[in-house]
Chain A
Amino acid sequence: MARSLFNRKKQNTQASQNKQQPQAAAGKNITKNLDSNLEEIKKLLGNPSDLVTRELMIGGLETRAAIIYINGLTDKDLINDNILKTIQLNMKQFESNVLEKIYQEVIAITDIKKSTTMDEVSSAILNGSTAFYLDEMDTVLLMGTSGGETRSIEEPSTESLIRGPKDGFVESIETNIALIRRDIRDPNLRFKQHEVGKRSKQKLVVSYVEGIVNQEIVDEIDRRLKTIDVDIVADSAYVEQWIEDSFLSIFPQIANTERPDRVSTALTQGKVAILVEGTPFVLLAPTALSETLQSMEDYNQRWVAATLQRTLRYFSAFIAVFLPGLYIALVSYHPGMIPSTLVFSIAASREGVPFPAAVEAVLMAATFEILHEAGIRLPKVIGQTVGIVGGLVIGEAAVSAGIVSPIMVIVTALTAIATFSVPSYSIAITFRILRFSLMIAAALLGLYGIIIVYIMVNIHLVNMKSIGVPYTAPFAPSFVSDWRDLIIRAPITKLIQRPIYLKPTDEQSKDTKPE
Chain B
Amino acid sequence: MRTFKYGDEQIRTRDIMIAVPSMLIAIGIIIFPRELADKTIAADGWVSILFGGMIAILAVWLVTKLAASFPNQSFLSYASYLVTKPVAIVITFLFSVQGILLSAFEVRAISDISHQYLFDQTPIEVVALSFLLVVVYAVSGSRAGLFRLNSMFLPIIFLITTLLVFFSIVFINTDHLLPVFKTDAQGYVQGTIESTISFSGVGIGIFFFYISLVKKPEKAPAMAAFGMSWVVGLYIVVYLTCIAVFGENTTANIRFPLIELAKTIEIPGGFFERLDSVFFVIWIMAIFNTTALAFDVSVMALNSIFPKVDKLKIIFVLSPIVFFLAMIPNTYLEIGLFGRYVSYFGWGFVGVILIILWVMFKIKGAKQNEK
A residues near B (Cβ < 8 Å) are: 3, 6-7, 214, 216-217, 220, 223, 333-334, 336-340, 445-452, 455-456, 458-459, 462-463, 465, 467-470, 472, 475-478, 503
Residues in B with CB closer than 8 Å to A458 are: 149, 152-153
User: Do A451 and B282 have beta carbons less than 8 Å apart?
Assistant: yes
Determine whether B273 belongs to the interface, using a CB cutoff of 8 Å to chain A: yes
Residues in A with CB closer than 8 Å to B151 are: 475-478
User: Do B277 and A339 have beta carbons less than 8 Å apart?
Assistant: no
Residues in A with CB closer than 8 Å to B3 are: 220, 465, 467-468
Question: In the complex, what's the smallest C-beta–C-beta distance from A168 to chain B, in angstroms?
Answer: 30
User: Do B131 and A452 have beta carbons less than 8 Å apart?
Assistant: yes
Residues in A with CB closer than 8 Å to B271 are: 338-339
Determine whether B251 belongs to the interface, using a CB cutoff of 8 Å to chain A: no
A450, A459, A503, most chain B CB atoms within 10 A = A459
- Mark the stretch among B85-93, B136-144, B178-186 that contacts chain A: B136-144
**Which of B114, B137, B145, B146 lies in contact with A456, CB distance below 8 A?**
B137
Residues in A with CB closer than 8 Å to B118 are: 333-334, 446-448
User: Do B4 and A459 have beta carbons less than 8 Å apart?
Assistant: no
**Secondary structure class of chain B's binding surface, majority of residues:** helix
Residues in B with CB closer than 8 Å to A217 are: 4
A468 to B288, CA, bound (A): 27
Determine the residue in chain B with the shortest Cβ distance to A218: B4
B residues near A (Cβ < 8 Å) are: 1-6, 12, 14-15, 18, 114, 118-119, 122, 126-127, 130-131, 134, 137-138, 141-142, 144-153, 270-274, 277-278, 281-282, 284-285, 288
Q: Jot down 24 A-B pairs with beta carbons below 8 A, ordered by A.
A: A216-B4, A337-B272, A338-B273, A339-B271, A445-B122, A448-B114, A450-B281, A451-B282, A452-B284, A458-B152, A459-B134, A462-B141, A462-B149, A462-B152, A463-B145, A469-B4, A475-B151, A475-B152, A476-B148, A476-B149, A476-B151, A476-B152, A477-B148, A478-B14
User: Do A452 and B134 have beta carbons less than 8 Å apart?
Assistant: yes
User: Do A477 and B12 have beta carbons less than 8 Å apart?
Assistant: yes
Known: A337-B274, A339-B273. A455 touches B285 (CB 8 A): yes
Question: In the complex, what's the smallest C-beta–C-beta distance from B278 to chain A, in angstroms?
Answer: 7
Determine the residue in chain B with the shortest Cβ distance to A471: B148
**Which of A6, A340, A462, A477 lies in contact with B1, CB distance below 8 A?**
A6
A7, A450, A478, most chain B CB atoms within 10 A = A478
B4, B118, B273, most chain A CB atoms within 10 A = B4
User: Do B152 and A472 have beta carbons less than 8 Å apart?
Assistant: yes
Question: In the complex, what's the smallest C-beta–C-beta distance from A155 to chain B, in angstroms?
Answer: 35
Residues in A with CB closer than 8 Å to B274 are: 336-337
Known: A337-B277, A459-B141, A476-B151. A445 touches B130 (CB 8 A): yes
Residues in B with CB closer than 8 Å to A450 are: 281
A343 to B134, CA, bound (A): 32
Residues in B with CB closer than 8 Å to A220 are: 2-4
Residues in A with CB closer than 8 Å to B152 are: 458, 462, 472, 475-476
Residues in A with CB closer than 8 Å to B285 are: 451, 455
A244 to B149, CA, bound (A): 22
Residues in B with CB closer than 8 Å to A340 are: 273
User: Do B137 and A337 have beta carbons less than 8 Å apart?
Assistant: no
A462 to B141, CA, bound (A): 9
**Which of A223, A449, A452, A468 lies in contact with B6, CB distance below 8 A?**
A468
A90 to B288, CA, bound (A): 84
> Beyond the given A337-B277, A447-B277, could you list 18 further A-B residue pairs with CB under 8 A, ordered by the A residue number?
A220-B2, A337-B278, A338-B271, A448-B130, A448-B281, A451-B282, A452-B134, A455-B285, A456-B134, A458-B149, A459-B137, A462-B146, A463-B145, A476-B148, A476-B150, A476-B151, A476-B152, A503-B6
Residues in A with CB closer than 8 Å to B15 are: 477
Residues in B with CB closer than 8 Å to A467 are: 3-4
User: Do B142 and A463 have beta carbons less than 8 Å apart?
Assistant: yes
Residues in B with CB closer than 8 Å to A477 are: 12, 15, 144, 147-148, 151
A338 to B270, CA, bound (A): 9
A217 to B5, CA, bound (A): 9
User: Do B278 and A447 have beta carbons less than 8 Å apart?
Assistant: yes
A63 to B18, CA, bound (A): 83
Question: In the complex, what's the smallest C-beta–C-beta distance from A422 to chain B, in angstroms?
Answer: 20
A245 to B47, CA, bound (A): 52
Residues in A with CB closer than 8 Å to B147 are: 476-477
Determine the residue in chain A with the shortest Cβ distance to B15: A477
Question: In the complex, what's the smallest C-beta–C-beta distance from A376 to chain B, in angstroms?
Answer: 32
A469 to B114, CA, bound (A): 37
Residues in A with CB closer than 8 Å to B282 are: 451
Residues in B with CB closer than 8 Å to A451 are: 281-282, 284-285
User: Do B149 and A339 have beta carbons less than 8 Å apart?
Assistant: no
A113 to B3, CA, bound (A): 39
A214, A217, A448, A458, most chain B CB atoms within 10 A = A448
Residues in A with CB closer than 8 Å to B149 are: 458-459, 462, 476
A445 to B284, CA, bound (A): 14
User: Do B4 and A462 have beta carbons less than 8 Å apart?
Assistant: no
B3, B138, B150, most chain A CB atoms within 10 A = B3
A472 to B141, CA, bound (A): 15
Question: In the complex, what's the smallest C-beta–C-beta distance from B117 to chain A, in angstroms?
Answer: 9
User: Do B148 and A448 have beta carbons less than 8 Å apart?
Assistant: no
A477 to B11, CA, bound (A): 9
User: Do A462 and B272 have beta carbons less than 8 Å apart?
Assistant: no
Residues in B with CB closer than 8 Å to A469 are: 4, 6
User: Do A470 and B6 have beta carbons less than 8 Å apart?
Assistant: yes
A467 to B2, CA, bound (A): 11
Residues in A with CB closer than 8 Å to B272 are: 337-338
A463 to B149, CA, bound (A): 9
Question: In the complex, what's the smallest C-beta–C-beta distance from B184 to chain A, in angstroms?
Answer: 42
Residues in A with CB closer than 8 Å to B273 are: 336-340
A452 to B151, CA, bound (A): 18
Question: In the complex, what's the smallest C-beta–C-beta distance from A272 to chain B, in angstroms?
Answer: 11
Determine the residue in chain B with the shortest Cβ distance to A477: B148
A217, A447, A455, A475, most chain B CB atoms within 10 A = A455
Residues in A with CB closer than 8 Å to B148 are: 462, 470, 472, 476-477
Determine the residue in chain B with the shortest Cβ distance to A468: B4
Determine the residue in chain B with the shortest Cβ distance to A456: B134
Residues in B with CB closer than 8 Å to A446 are: 118-119
Question: In the complex, what's the smallest C-beta–C-beta distance from A181 to chain B, in angstroms?
Answer: 27
Determine the residue in chain B with the shortest Cβ distance to A466: B4
Residues in B with CB closer than 8 Å to A475 are: 151-152
Question: In the complex, what's the smallest C-beta–C-beta distance from A224 to chain B, in angstroms?
Answer: 10
Residues in A with CB closer than 8 Å to B278 are: 337, 447
Question: In the complex, what's the smallest C-beta–C-beta distance from A7 to chain B, in angstroms?
Answer: 8
Residues in B with CB closer than 8 Å to A3 are: 1
Residues in B with CB closer than 8 Å to A462 are: 141, 145-146, 148-149, 152
Question: In the complex, what's the smallest C-beta–C-beta distance from B219 to chain A, in angstroms?
Answer: 15
User: Do B5 and A463 have beta carbons less than 8 Å apart?
Assistant: no
A455 to B114, CA, bound (A): 16
Residues in B with CB closer than 8 Å to A503 are: 6
Determine the residue in chain B with the shortest Cβ distance to A245: B3
User: Do A455 and B1 have beta carbons less than 8 Å apart?
Assistant: no
A223 to B1, CA, bound (A): 10
Residues in A with CB closer than 8 Å to B18 are: 478
Determine the residue in chain B with the shortest Cβ distance to A3: B1
A403 to B119, CA, bound (A): 28
B146, B270, B272, B282, most chain A CB atoms within 10 A = B272
A129 to B271, CA, bound (A): 67
Question: In the complex, what's the smallest C-beta–C-beta distance from B16 to chain A, in angstroms?
Answer: 12
Determine the residue in chain A with the shortest Cβ distance to B266: A339
Residues in B with CB closer than 8 Å to A476 are: 147-152
